[in-house]
Amino acid sequence: MRKRLLTAAMAALFTAWLAAPAATAAPAKTDPTTKIKHFVYMLQGDRSFDNYFGTYPGAEGIPKDICQRRVVTGPDESCVKPFELHGKNVQALGAGTVELNNQYDEGRMDGFVAAYQNQGRDGSSAMGYYDQRDLPTYWGLADRYVLFDHFFSSTRSGERVNRSYWVSGSPPPTGSPGAVAADYAKHLTIFDRLQAAGVDWKFYVQGYDPTQTYRTSSRTTPTTQPIRVPLLNYPRFLDDPALNSRIVDLSQYYRDLDSGKLPAVAYIASNGPSERSTRSVRSGQQLVTNLVGSLMVSSAWESSAFLLSYDGSGGWFDHVKPPQVDSQGYGMRVPALLVSPYARPGHINSDVLDYTSALAFIERNWKLAPLASRDAAATSIDNAFDFDSGPRAADVRFNEPTVVSAPAVSVTVVYWCYGVVFCLVAGLVVFAVVRSRRTTGAPPAQPPSEGPAPRSVPVRAKI
């Protein structure tokens, strides 16, 4: 009897064990469908396409003779033309939903200056733009890789909503605190899909502070961590160690590259070098130089792609009317660059895209289900790649034009030659002066010609 009971108990345990793996075992690894095994997606802040690339050759940039009126209606006929920001220090425009909607003006795209003038502010700054002198890194990357000139923000509703589209393909939950918490529990992100499929991922945060979450910080100020990092608004990404451990400081990105452990999908959020202000335009480029350059010299380069875009126009002028794909938008056009050994070299991609176009690529590359209607219908960034050629070798020259390389010459030898020439010339001059003093009635001696200056050797910019 005991033997039969023991046998039955063992059979029951075995049956239960067979049923358990689906709930407890780690999911099987999902291989990518393209040659991209590492996809890095970074979002900076508050720039329009015309503000950064409005004069880039070949792109759909600032139209000739355009001028925005200071008031949309009324007797004042004065207007502001686009102007160079080079050497100028202008304040951030601070555009919210109201200003952006007024600039859009029901699709007329004529309120970029008036949106501020109507508030008693000088709106002329909105028409300023940068060029290659101010953006050597980005223009250099556009020359060598892919520039998107019809990449739109997902909505005109501000940074928080755009960054929600960045990770989830839909706007964030709204309402009372209790309702929002309940809705976030059901609100899926691309990282939920990746986790369930066993695809490695990380969210790298510059200056990461684990104590700054929606529980302790504002959800409305663009510079706060819960706005920059949407996952910090989800209780499960704070409380589940399996998820929370994947939100890490940006310094880990460089360590992961060094150790060959860059995840399949990586998101990056900056802090100070966000490019929202004039001062941070330069530091933002330096950060991107470090991030992309480190990727290029790592073992991950030959199977990677780095996509850079911006979480809204910030109130800066852009002349292209965004398509109205649904009740939310699109929002204004923003800069976007793709850097990859498979990116089409020097290509301007004009597909109509938004943040969810990158989600669509991630989903198709790792065979994941869409998150929402927007990413399900989005045009993917696939056309920016050329998988029939490549991978191309990394090109880490960010801030200089392409030049013909000169023969390598030792810097020490060059300076030694300079020193010898200087001493010879100085000696001849002294000798001539002394001789002229000893020779009465003779005209002063003239120093001999120095001859042509030594040819300078171009030095490439290095990371």
The pLDDT of residue 391: 94
Among 12, 24, 117, 42, smallest CA distance to 358 is for 42
Query: Has residue 191 got a pLDDT over 70?
Result: yes
Among 80-94, 244-258, 299-313, 333-347, the minimum mean pLDDT is found in 80-94
The pLDDT of residue 94: 85
Mean predicted confidence (pLDDT) in 111-134:
95
Residue 256, amino acid:
D
> For residues 431 and 303, what is the distance between their CA atoms, to the nearest angstrom?
66
Contact present, 447 and 425 (Cβ < 8 Å): yes
> For residues 135 and 285, what is the distance between their CA atoms, to the nearest angstrom?
8
One-character DSSP codes across 406-438:
PPP--HHHHHHHHHHHHHHHHHHHHHHHHHHHH
Asked, as a colleague might, if the bond just before 335 is cis with ω within 30 of 0, I would say: no
Q: How high is the mean pLDDT of the chain?
A: 83
Higher pLDDT, 427 or 386: 386
Number of Cβ within 10 Å of residue 394's Cβ equals 16
Mean predicted confidence (pLDDT) in 119-132:
95
Mean predicted confidence (pLDDT) in 209-225:
84
Contact present, 276 and 45 (Cβ < 8 Å): yes
**Highest mean pLDDT, choosing among 17-21, 151-155, 223-227:** 151-155
Name the band, by pLDDT with cuts 50, 70 and 90, for residue 461: very low
Mean predicted confidence (pLDDT) in 92-107:
93
The pLDDT of residue 444: 41
Among 22-31, 281-290, 336-345, 364-373, the minimum mean pLDDT is found in 22-31
Higher pLDDT, 164 or 433: 164
Mean predicted confidence (pLDDT) in 398-426:
40
Among 85, 53, 71, 127, smallest CA distance to 315 is for 127
> For residues 128 and 462, what is the distance between their CA atoms, to the nearest angstrom?
31
Residue 340, amino acid:
S
Tell me phi and psi for residue 194, to 5 degrees.
-65, -45
Query: Has residue 447 got a pLDDT over 80?
Result: no
> For residues 189 and 359, what is the distance between their CA atoms, to the nearest angstrom?
10
Stretch (H or E) spanning 16 = helix 2-19
Answering whether pTM is above 0.85, one says no
Q: In CATH, what number does 38-384 get?
A: 3.40.720.10
Mean predicted confidence (pLDDT) in 402-423:
37
The pLDDT of residue 396: 77
Q: Where are the domains of the chain?
A: 38-384, 403-463
Residue 251, amino acid:
S
Percent helix, strand and coil across the chain, each rounded to 5? Answer: 40, 10, 50
Share of the chain above pLDDT 90, in %: 69
Query: Has residue 15 got a pLDDT over 80?
Result: no
